[in-house]
A and B are shown apart, each in its own frame.
Chain A
Amino acid sequence: MPLVAAGGRTVHVQELGEGPAVVMIHGLLIGSLASWYFTAAPQLARGHRVRMYDLRGHGRSERAAGGFDTATLAGDLAAVAGDLREPFDLVGHSWGGLVALRFAREHPARVRRLAIVEAPLPPSSALEMASFLAGDGLPARLLDALPAPLREAVAGGRRQAERLVKSIERLVLESSLLDDVRREPDPGDAELARVTAPTLLAYGDRSACAPAGARLARVLPHARHLVLPGGHYLHLDARARLAEAIEAHLG
């Protein structure tokens, strides 16, 4: 089921495995469903029906001029998960984690368990993760900003680096993505406390997002806070341990 119509848009969706449903959401800019497909998804797929999709404007989903705020993206998620009858689990990395938290507040009866990986708070602090965007010389600084395994892979050649830079330039120059991130309001502790689903919070010990994990751990009623060795791209830096922790949490 690669390309499906959801909410009036074409969305690239992939599924692995069978069982209770888990929907996995990737982060902005360098993310795509491949972020999960080759990391935690195969392990979860041993006991779950794992659904992954490319966010609007990312991967093979339809390009988008705007709508990268969590309200719009949670609406996209509702469309992608529209056929799931039973409550399902949500796993989100970075901005995808904020989308999962928002969806869980708006549709508490539809979400069973949550795994939030490296979601930034306040949301606009996500721009710190994308500091490579400031000024000129995007390709060189982008490579510096990538997690080590990806950097080595991309830095070796031309095709991958060119394509990665092109896709990021398209999002940065031809969409409202950065403005959407900048304008995203902080949900506030009282609003976050409405997330009732049992939630795993996984953060990297070297990540600028670490304070967000501590805050969510304090505010969410049913949270478990896990700090793993790694940076913001924890699904790469701590691939096996993160997959195990998510699998154990979802059960």
Chain B
Amino acid sequence: MTPDRAEILRVVERLIVEVAGDELLVTGPITLETSFNGDLELESIEFVALAEKLQQHYGASVDFVGWISNKELDQIIALTVGELVEFIASCRS
């Protein structure tokens, strides 16, 4: 993992914990392979809160909602932290 992506991963993990609580981490740290639905089991309303926090942290240059809206529902359900990190990295490069 590049230093850039490692830093994004740390930010994403912090925002997820702010949204859903640190009991999500009892099974281990969040990695690039962690999926939002299957592993973390975020509720959809928590996913909204995560979108809001990403917006606040990264500003309009990271259009998380626009990115999500171009995906099919089964892609959203299968979404991993790594895909989000990669997307954020691509917005900033």
Q: Which residues of A contact B (CB under 8 A)?
A: 2, 14, 16, 32-35, 37-38, 41-43, 45, 54, 59-60, 149, 152-153, 156-160, 163-164, 236, 239
Q: Is B2 an interface residue (CB 8 A)?
A: no
Q: Is B4 an interface residue (CB 8 A)?
A: no
Map CB proximity to A onto B28-44 as digits: 1 under 8 Å, 0 otherwise.
00000000011001111
* B52 in contact with A2 (CB, 8 Å): yes
Asked whether, in the complex, the Cβ of B37 is within 8 Å of the Cβ of A156, the reply is yes
Number of interface residues of B (CB under 8 A): 20
Task: Determine if A153 and B69 form an interchain contact, defined as CB atoms under 8 angstroms apart.
Answer: no
A33 and B48 contact, Cβ closer than 8 Å, known pairs A38-B69, A156-B37, A239-B73: yes
> Smallest CB–CB gap between B64 and chain A, Å?
10
Q: A42-B66, A149-B77 are in contact. Are A157 and B41 (CB under 8 A)?
A: yes
Chain A residues near B73 (CB-CB < 8 A): 149, 236, 239
- The answer to whether A34 and B47 touch (CB under 8 A), given A2-B52, A156-B37, is yes
B45, CB-defined interface residue at 8 Å: yes
Q: How distant is B32 from chain A, measured CB to nearest CB, in Å?
A: 20
